[in-house]
Amino acid sequence: MYPLRRNRRLRTTETIRSLVRETIITPNDFLVPLFVVEGKGIKEEITSMPNYYRLSLDNLSKEVRELWSLGLKSILLFVKVDDKLKDNKGTEALNPNGLMQRAIKTVKDACPQMLVMTDVALDPFSVYGHDGIIHDGEILNDETNAVLAEMSLSHAKAGADFVAPSDMMDGRIFEIRTLLEDEGFHNTGIMSYSAKYASAFYGPFRDALDSAPVDLKDIPKDKKTYQMDPANRQEAIRETLMDIDEGADIVMVKPGLCYLDIVRDIANAVTVPVAVYQVSGEYAMLKAAAEKGWLNHDAVMMEQVTAIKRAGASIIASYFAKDVVKIIS
C-alpha cells in the first residue's frame, strides 16, 4: 500500500517504461492492404485516403519490395476491375488471367517470401456492388458460396498463401475449405472475416475500388442482411466459432477501434490467431484531423495500433503499417 507501493516508480524514465511495457508493436504485427488496377506506371492517390494509392502491376512489384525491406512481410490484395467486366455472378473473378490472379503472380515473382492473402468477395466484380449474387432483390447465400469457393481455388492456383473471404455469407468457409482440400490445396490457409459489421466506416475503401452498392429499385441499398448489426456482441462469438469449426485458420474482426470489446471477447474465446482490420474510415479520420492540426498524427496512430494489439489482436491489417514501421525501426 501507499507509501510502500508507489506505482509511479515504474514510469519515471523512458528506459523503465520500455522495460515494463506490456504491449510491443513490431513489423510482424502488420498485414498491409494493397489496391491493384490495370495499366502501367499507375500510382494513383485515393482522394479519401491521403497518401494511399491504387497501383498498377509494375508499381505493385516495386511496392512489395519496399515493404519487405521495411520488415513488412504480409499483404492483403484487392483489385479494382473495369465496369465492363462486372456482372451479377462475379464471372471475371474466376478468370485465371484476371487482375487478381496476375497480381498474386506479380507479388510472388517480385518477392517470393512475401505472404500473400487475397480478398474473396463478389463486390469488386458485381454490377450491383454487393458481396453476393442477387435474385428478386435478395442476396443469394448458397449460390454465392459456390462462386466464392471457385474464386478461392483460382487464387490458390495463382499462388496465394491465404484466401480471405470478406462477404459474410453463411457456410462459405466450409465450402471453400472443402473445395481446396478436394483439389489438393491443403496448405492454403483461410483468414475469415468472421465478425464483419455493417459499418459506416467503409466509405473510403468503396471509393478506392468503386464497389459501393448501387442505388437501384429492388436492389438492397446496404449490406445489412449479411454484415453484422453493430449493436450485437454475442453474435460475433457465434459467427467466429462457426467459422473455426468450418476450417478457418485465422479469424478477423472488422472494423477496429469501435469494436475492441469484440476483439477481446473473441480473443478470450478462441485459440486461433485473431486479426483486426483498421479500416479506411479510421485511417481517413486521423489523416483529416491531422491535416487540420487538431491531432498529432503519429502519436494518435501509435496509440490506436497499440490499443488494437492490447485488445487481443495477433494481426493488424492497417493502412498505417508503413508509417508505423518507419517510427518504430
Active site residues: 196, 254
Q: Where are the alpha helices (DSSP H) in 159-292?
A: 172-182, 203-209, 234-246, 260-269, 280-291
Q: Where are the alpha helices (DSSP H) in 161-212?
A: 172-182, 203-209
Type of residue at 131: D
Q: CA 173 to CA 168: how far, in whole Å? A: 10
Q: CA 277 to CA 298: how far, in whole Å? A: 19
Q: Which residues pair with 108 in a beta bridge?
A: none
| Matching residue, cell 454490377 | 127
Asked if residue 309 lies in contact with residue 316, where contact means CB atoms within 8 angstroms, the answer is yes
Q: CA 116 to CA 197: how far, in whole Å? A: 24
Cβ-Cβ contacts under 8 Å for 204 (sequence gap 6 or more)? 46, 48, 49, 280, 281, 283, 284
Burial class (CB in 10 A: 0-12, 13-18, 19+), 94: middle
Task: Give Cα separations from 292 to 281, 286, 305 (angstroms).
Answer: 17, 10, 21
Q: Which residues pair with 327 in a beta bridge?
A: none
| Pick from 274, 290, 273: nearest CA to 282 | 290
